[in-house]
Amino acid sequence: MVGGVYCDFHAQQEQSARNMLGAILKQLVIRGGIPEQIREAFQKAKNEFGGRSPPLPDMVDILKRTITSLPRVFICIDALDECPQQHRRDLLGSLREIVAVSPNIRVFLTARPNIDHEIVRYFIQVVRIPLSPTHADIKSYLKMRLDMDPDPDAMDAKLLTDIMRIIPEKISER
């Protein structure tokens, strides 16, 4: 099963660690229906806490138990750098807790390079891959954009050749 969230500068307030983990949990239980333990926790919250959403430690606990019941789980979090630092710390701390007890989990994170040191602080073993588009990637993208050109006859062959040669050279580092 795969669960993921996209962090967004424009949604910082609602993207708390709790809400993000809750969104991941929702995706993990989509296929098998809502597990009994979540249903019970929901009823309890409804009866005793006025329906308040589960606090972060409870959410982490529910996630751990849900993940244990699944064969293999991938958690993807895009653009961690767009998440405010406090939420990011809570999220990374929670993920560390979950990873420690879940051998069947893989966590996929993306971010700008400037938060590398934070991630390394939370996880002992991190596989790190630097990303930059390849020549072939840039060319595919350019071709797609050129195919969308509403007035292709306005471009002569030389300009087309130059675009396909020069832009990939200038952009690609690989």
Retrieve residue 31's tokens: 């296929």
Is 99 or 154 the residue whose CB approaches other proteins more closely? 99
Is 48 or 153 the residue whose CB approaches other proteins more closely? 48
The yes or no reply on residue 39 touching other proteins (CB under 8 A) is yes
Name the one range near other proteins by CB under 8 A: 83-91, 100-108, 147-155, 157-165.
100-108
**Selected binder of other proteins within 85, 134, 146, 169 (CB under 8 A):** 134
Number of residues forming the site for other proteins (CB under 8 A): 61
Is 94:108 a contact under the CB 8 Å cutoff? no
The yes or no reply on residue 71 touching other proteins (CB under 8 A) is no
> For the stretch 15-38, what's the b/e string if a residue is b when 16 or more beta carbons lie within 10 angstroms of its beta carbon?
bbbbbbbbebbeebbeeeeebeeb
Is 56 or 160 the residue whose CB approaches other proteins more closely? 56
Retrieve residue 124's tokens: 């002992």
Per the listing, tokens 């009823």 go with: 43
Site string for other proteins, 2-21 (x = CB under 8 A): --xxx-x--x--xx--xxxx
**Selected binder of other proteins within 13, 50, 71, 129 (CB under 8 A):** 129
The yes or no reply on residue 44 touching other proteins (CB under 8 A) is no
Is 110:78 a contact under the CB 8 Å cutoff? yes
DSSP state of 38: H
CA 136/CA 100 separation, integer angstroms: 39
Is 103 or 154 the residue whose CB approaches other proteins more closely? 103
Task: Give the phi and the psi of residue 154 in degrees, each rounded to 5.
Answer: -70, -10
CA 84/CA 15 separation, integer angstroms: 9
Residues that bind other proteins (CB under 8 A): 4-6, 8, 11, 14-15, 18-23, 25-27, 30-34, 38-39, 42, 45, 51, 53-54, 59, 78-79, 95, 99, 103, 105-113, 116, 119, 123, 125-134, 136-137, 140-141, 144
